[in-house]
Amino acid sequence: MIVDQKFFQHLQLLVIVLLLSWRDTFEHSTGMKDVIRCIEKEKEALLKFKDELIDEYSQLSSWGNEKYKKDCCKWSGVGCDNQTNHIVELDLVNMGLRGNISISLLEIQHLKYLDLGENDFNHSRIPQFIGSLGRLQHLDLSNSNFSGEIPHHLGNLSELNSLRLSSSADGSLTSTNLDWLSRLHSLKNLSMFSVNLTMATDWLQIITKLTQLQHLFLDSCNLPMVLPPSPFNASNSLSAFGLTGNEFSSSWIFPLVFNLSSSLTLLDLSSNKLQGEIPISLGNMSRLTSLYLYGNQFTGEVPCPALSSSLTDLDLSNNMFNGTIAQCIGSLSKLEYLYLVSNNFEGIITESHFSDLSQLQGLYLSSNSGISFNISLGWNPPFQLTGLYLTDCNIGPHFPTWLRTQTRLKYLDISNAEISDTFPDWFWELSPKLRSLNASNNNFQGVLPDLSSKFSNFDSIDLSFNHFNGSLPILPPNGFVVDLSSNEFSGSITNIYNETSCYWEYLDLSNNLLAGQLPDCFANLQNLVYLNLAHNNFSGKIPSLKVTLSLHLQNNSFTGEIPTSLRSCTSLTFIDLSQNKLTGNIPTWVGDTWTYLVFLSLRSNEFFGSIPSHLCHLANLQVLDLSLNKISGGIPKCLNNLTAMIQVDSEFDSAFILYYEGGFESAFVTWKGKEAEYINTLNLVKLIDLSSNNLIGDVPTEITSLVTLVGLNLSRNNLSGFLPPNIERLRSLDFLDFSRNHFSGGIPTGISQLDQLGVLDLSYNNLSGKIPQSIHLQTFNVFAFEGNPRLCGLPLTKACPKDEIAQVPKIGHNVDGMKNQEEDKLINDGFYISMAVGFVFGFWGVCGTFVLNHS
């Protein structure tokens, strides 16, 4: 198929090339004079105009002085008048042009149509001279990074029919008044997007003067709610009116809108601050076909009288509607798209809600958890939907059998819809056009059939969080997102797709009962961005894999070494190989090639050898978990090169999370002794866990440079020497475990300054001297210090000899920040009470940001 397409493309190209060369030869040999329509003076002007532009993408390559480019009327984007040959049209939309707009444009005096939209004029001003192109009828300068005050000279363009202006989202294009607009008597279409009109208090007055207006859009313009001129009326011909993204209130905007001509067919007041119920009088706009009110704060039910029976598009999403959905909505017989997403609608949806909706194509009721469906099994709906979105509605417990009639479905979302059923076989034959299916978070059971040839054109299939069982189905190779996680699929995978190429970018088979070796076909998944096979029982070696961003293989039984194929995955940011039986040294190339890595967990495997200092090159790393292995040697001194653990705000946060809508990153770490899964909180947690290995030597003081570290666990090793003296630098630390090593010397007093610390464990070492006394430190349990026979002072019961002070580790260098802040505090029972409270808050304060697994 693909081969065929390519072949035809080549063929087309060949034919064009042949035709062109034939034409050239023909013209030359016959000496036939090509009719050049272009006017020389205008051509020169255009070339000057081009000269001052930066045409990075060679979009204007047909513009030139060369012989075969003689006719400027044939240049791309240029249009000439058939009779006079004057250039009348310049359409340069979205050509990636930059640079300056040359005044030579003025030579093209007959220009009627100028579109420079979607280019990048580097926040320069709109040139005033554009106002002198007196014949312009159409001017589009939108989304081209113009800034500053709009030149009032544009008001000279008295023949203008259509004007589009916008700044890039920053609202840096402004107009302090719109007086200049009032001179554009012929204006029919006016759109201004994110133009800062805060100061333009005359905007309503001006609108009343534009008597020819048909389409008026003033979106995100910070329009002031000024006293409307009395009477306020607008052009009789106004048919589309949009004021999205301003801050209007209901009481201000509705009286105004009701006074607009009854010819209005489109009204868009979305993303304002409209409140209360929708006023009934809205129903008087009898020609209204499109009504967009999403993103406001409307309450109540949908009052049917407020809805014109001509409506084809109705969007009331993202409001606070809290009543029932009235059945009368079923009489809006022209309705094609109905959006009621994300409200608090409640009540029961029945067949009569749809009685006359024969034109309905898109039904969006998602995120209204109070809605249930009560529809008979044999219902034959009057419509044919292409999109159906019912997330969070209660449509169960049975599969909605009426879908059987919907053979044009492209998008179906019945996730979290309380369905407890099997997936009917007819469903897979229903609509070959299906592009996206989301049936996740239900209670579907049963075995899935071979799906490889069921969809010709699918983007995503999400059946996660159900109870599908049996072996994994063969899946269509052409989609992007495949999520079958958290089901009960079992057996080994022999093949999951049956073509030679596969386009999947997101594959999640985690939390199933799958076992056996991964088949070789995984190596052919060349487009994978996200691969999650965690929490299965896969065994054998990890095959050759190519994954761009995120790899999760934890909690399986993989053996062997980290495959060298992963070495080419240089943009990986997230790798979790924990809880397998992997072995070997930690390869040094890990630090050299995975430079974008944010998360690395090799926890609970059989890795040995020492920690390569190359890991210190991972400047973006936020979680390093090597715990529960057989790693020996010392802790590298270069840990202070892990700069993400030093920076307060890692730049990574937003780029990393939610690569796919609905997808998320999650991982297990051992957090304060409990295994916790955290989701989307990587930006909060910075963690080093080297516990339960065979590490020796002392803790390099460099580790205290990692000032944004939240958790540090070095427990259960053979580490010795003194605790880092300037440990108070780790001021973000919430969890610190040095237990079960051979640390000696005193506890650095700085530890009492770690006021974020929720869990501290120094037990079973050779620490000695007095435990530093501070209110915070006393809140820790006695278990934090036990097993250090030479340690004394509270909370231990062993009292110190009267004159003993906390011992200061004697280290020649790096003693900055060492302060001997001994305070003899009054100890009373109150401390033991605050101890318990402090512990509980300390623990849950952080765990609250975690989403515990199986919650």
CA gyration radius, the chain:
35
294 in Cβ contact with 272 (< 8 Å): no
Asked if 188 touches ligand NAG (CB under 6 A), the answer is yes
Residue from the set 5, 29, 231, 803 that interacts with ligand NAG by CB under 6 A: 231
Q: Please identify, using beta-carbon distances, which residue of 350 and 595 lies nearer to ligand NAG.
A: 595
* Contact mark string toward ligand NAG, 697..736, x via CB under 6 A: ----------------------------------------
Among 202, 267, 218, residue whose Cα is nearest residue 238: 267
Q: Which is nearer to ligand NAG, 250 or 511 (CB)?
A: 250
Helix (H, G, I), strand (E, B) or coil at 402: helix
Residue 206 or residue 846: which is nearer to ligand NAG going by CB? 206
For ligand NAG, the binding residue among 331, 355, 369, 498 (CB under 6 A) is 498
Shortest gap between Cβ of 162 and ligand NAG (angstroms)?
A: 4
List the one residue out of 538, 677, 528, 674 whose CA is nearest residue 599: 677
Contact 302, 279 (CB under 8 A): no
Nearest to ligand NAG of 61, 259 (CB atom): 259
* Least distance in angstroms from the C-beta of 471 to ligand NAG: 12
Rounded to a whole number of angstroms, the minimum distance from the CB of residue 184 to ligand NAG is 12
131 or 769: CB nearest ligand NAG: 131
Q: 467 pairs with which residues across the strands? A: 445
Ordered DSSP codes for 165-217? EE--TTT-EE-S--GGGGG-TT--EEEEESEE-TT-TTHHHHHHH-TT--EEE
Is 471 an interacting residue with respect to ligand NAG (CB under 6 A)?
no
Tokens at 851, concatenated:
């989403």
CB atoms near residue 601 (< 10 Å): 24
Say how many residues touch ligand NAG, by CB under 6 A: 54
How far apart, in whole angstroms, are the C-alpha atoms of residue 748 and residue 757?
A: 15
- Confirm or reject binding of residue 770 to ligand NAG (CB under 6 A): no
Minimal distance, residue 164 CB to ligand NAG, in Å: 9
* For ligand NAG, the closer CB: 148 or 155: 155
Q: Please, what is the minimum distance in Å from the beta carbon of residue 757 to ligand NAG?
A: 28
125 binds ligand NAG (CB under 6 A): no
Number of CB atoms found within 10 A of residue 595's CB: 15
Q: Does 450 bind ligand NAG (CB under 6 A)?
A: yes
Q: Using CB under 6 A as the criterion, what x/- string covers residues 73-112 for binding ligand NAG?
A: ---------x---------------xxx------------
Give the Å distances, CA to CA, from 254 to 250, 259, 280, 282, 309. 6, 9, 11, 8, 19
- For residue 153, the minimal CB distance to ligand NAG (Å) is 4
Among residues 479, 488, 483, the alpha carbon closest in space to that of 512 is found at: 488
Kindly state whether residue 322 participates in binding ligand NAG, applying the rule CB under 6 A.
Answer: yes
| Peptide bond between residue 231 and the one before it cis (omega within 30 degrees of 0) | yes
Nearer to ligand NAG, 162 or 622 (CB): 162
Question: Which of 201, 263, 297, 299 is the binder for ligand NAG (CB under 6 A)?
Answer: 299
> What x/- string results for residues 607 through 646 when contact with ligand NAG is judged by CB under 6 A?
------x--xx--------------------x--x-----
Q: Are 399 and 421 in contact (CB under 8 A)?
A: yes
Distance CA 274, CA 272 (A): 6
- Spell out a b/e string for 657-691, using b for 16 or more CB atoms within 10 Å of the CB, else e: eebeeebebbbbbbbbeeebbbeebbeebbbbbbb
Q: For ligand NAG, which is the closer residue by CB, 69 or 98?
A: 98
| Residue 481 near residue 461, CB atoms below 8 Å | yes
Q: Give yes or no for residue 118 binding ligand NAG (CB under 6 A).
A: yes
Determine if 242 is a binding residue for ligand NAG (CB under 6 A): no
- List the one residue from 215, 273, 408, 546 that touches ligand NAG (CB under 6 A): 215
Pick between residue 252 and residue 839 the one whose CB is nearest to ligand NAG. Answer: 252
The yes or no reply on residue 171 touching ligand NAG (CB under 6 A) is yes
Q: Which of 97, 68, 81, 99 is nearest to 42 (CA)?
A: 81
What 59-65 contacts at long range (C-beta under 8 Å, 24+ apart), as own/partner pairs, is 59/92, 59/95, 59/96, 59/97, 60/92, 60/95, 60/97
- The least CB distance from residue 586 to ligand NAG, in Å, is 14
Q: Is there binding between residue 175 and ligand NAG (CB under 6 A)?
A: no
Distance CA 130, CA 155 (A): 10
754 vs 777: CA distance, rounded Å: 9
**In the complex, least distance from residue 72 CB atom to ligand NAG, rounded to whole angstroms:** 16
- Distant-in-sequence contacts of 811-814, Cβ < 8 A, 24+ apart: 811/701, 811/722, 811/725, 813/701, 814/701, 814/725, 814/726
Residue 592 engages ligand NAG in binding (rule: CB under 6 A): no
- Residue 361 and residue 365: Cα distance in Å, rounded? 13
For residue 344, report the phi and psi dihedrals to the nearest 5 degrees. Answer: -115, 35
848 is a contact residue toward ligand NAG (CB under 6 A): no
- Residue 153 binds ligand NAG (CB under 6 A): yes
Quick note: the x/- pattern for ligand NAG over 24-53, rule CB under 6 A, is: ----------------------------x-
Name the residue among 552, 474, 468, 548 with its Cα closest to residue 510: 552
Exactly one of 474, 551, 621, 706 binds ligand NAG (CB under 6 A); which one?
474
Contact between 162 and ligand NAG by CB under 6 A: the answer reads yes
| 666 interacts with ligand NAG by CB under 6 A | no
Q: Could you tell me the smallest distance in angstroms from the CB atom of residue 431 to ligand NAG?
A: 18
- 3-state class (DSSP) for residue 778: helix
Nearer Cβ to ligand NAG, position 304 or 638?
Answer: 638
Residue type, 256: L
Q: Among the candidate windows 193-201, 502-510, 708-716, 832-840, which touches ligand NAG by CB under 6 A?
A: 193-201
**Contact residues for ligand NAG, defined by CB under 6 A:** 52, 54, 82, 98-100, 118, 120, 122, 131-132, 143, 145, 152-153, 155-156, 161-162, 168, 171, 174, 180, 188-189, 196, 198-199, 211, 215, 222, 228, 230-233, 235-236, 255-256, 259, 299, 322-323, 450, 452-453, 474, 498, 613, 616-617, 638, 641
